[in-house]
Amino acid sequence: MVAQMALEDPVHINSINDHGLTPLALAAKYGNIPLTKQLLKCDWIEINAKNVAVLQPWDMTDEYTPLIWAARRGHPEVVRALFKISELELYSRDDDGWTALQHAIDENHEDIVRFMIEVSENMDPEDSIEESTNLDAQREDLVQLLLTQDSLRLSETDDVGFTPLARAAEHQSPRILQILLKQPEICVNATLGTVPPLWAACRAGSLATVQNLMTKKSIQVNQKAPTGTSPLHLAVINQYSRIVSLLLSQEGIAVNDVGPFGSTALMLAAVNGYTACVGRLVHDSSIDLMCNEFYEAATFR
């Protein structure tokens, strides 16, 4: 009945509830396949609409599209139904910069991951490359334009403490990163309460971005985010072993530094069974196994 009412009214079909969700987003979130298919029959359905906060200013929103909801919640039939719509934005990102595929991987929904990868491989690569190139060029032009404004402050942060440089590092935008790094007033380190660009790059797992940031002599390799984790902790937690190696090669790296839960990088790697990271850490000349007292027990448990 809800779907029928929506289909008969182009306003209601894309209206949002108190939590900022459209009928399609709700259907995708809870895996309602019949409702999803019925809503998708409507020509004016907004298939890529993201949920928005509509109650109080402090209400949080993840900015999920219906595809992200379905992929994260593990509803393969809903994902397949959405993929049949040509207007679907496959690479749309949430407020953390994650795509639907990344959410599916994070939640271990193998069937959805396999399906999305197969479909992506069958897409026309030239169309995808051209669209991506045009979008990157537009972003670069916008950044260049903004940099001409005298009132622009490159140290300004968003609501969660990210500067423009930190966001460029997190979203793996190499050309925009290079543009920003060339600005004489750019600060590659974080101030109180902000996110270090190096930490953001380590969270994203971009080796090239980490290498670019390392070219700045003033970079502080041990600077922590407000959460208390360092770039090395983050690289270990996410099993980015090549980034771990790069960080360990930096002079002054605090390999024995303790994170927010009282664990060093080696402790985190050992207790989680991250063999590659353990191997790189134990061969570091400055590692102190005395302060990593449960390393042996964790490794051979």
Q: Quick check: 1 pLDDT over 50?
A: no
pLDDT digit string, tens, across residues 62-110? 688 999 999 999 999 999 999 998 888 888 888 777 788 888 887 888 8
The answer to whether 182 and 168 have CB atoms below 8 angstroms apart is no
In a domain, 141, yes or no: no
Asked if residue 230 lies in contact with residue 259, where contact means CB atoms within 8 angstroms, the answer is yes
Quick one: which H or E segment has residue 254? Answer: none
Spatial separation of the C-alpha atoms in residues 231 and 196, rounded to whole Å: 9
- The pLDDT tens digits for 137-189 are 555 655 665 556 555 566 777 777 788 888 888 876 677 777 888 887 777 88
Burial zone of 22 (CB within 10 Å; 0-12 exposed, 13-18 middle, 19+ buried): buried
Q: What is the CATH number of the domain that holds 282?
A: 1.25.40.20
Q: How far is it, in rounded angstroms, from Cα 14 to Cα 24?
A: 8
The residue from 175, 190, 219 where one domain ends is: 219
Q: pTM for this one? A: 0.50
> Domain of 169?
150-219
CA 118 to each of CA 122, 231, 243: distance values in angstroms, whole numbers, following the listed order: 6, 33, 29
DSSP 85: S
Q: What is the pLDDT of residue 121?
A: 58
Tell me the average pLDDT of the chain. Answer: 77
Same domain, 96 and 67: yes
pLDDT of residue 55: 46
Q: Where are the beta strands (DSSP E) in the chain?
A: none
Check whether 301 has a pLDDT greater than 70: no
By residue count, the chain amounts to: 301
The answer to whether residues 246 and 300 belong to one domain is: yes
What mean pLDDT comes out for the span 273-297? Answer: 71
| Highest-scoring range by mean pLDDT, 70-79, 186-195, 241-250, 262-271 | 70-79
204 shares its domain with 232: no
Q: CA 195, CA 162: separation in Å to the nearest integer? A: 5
Query: 103 by DSSP, 3-state: which?
Result: helix
Note whether 206 and 234 are same-domain residues: no
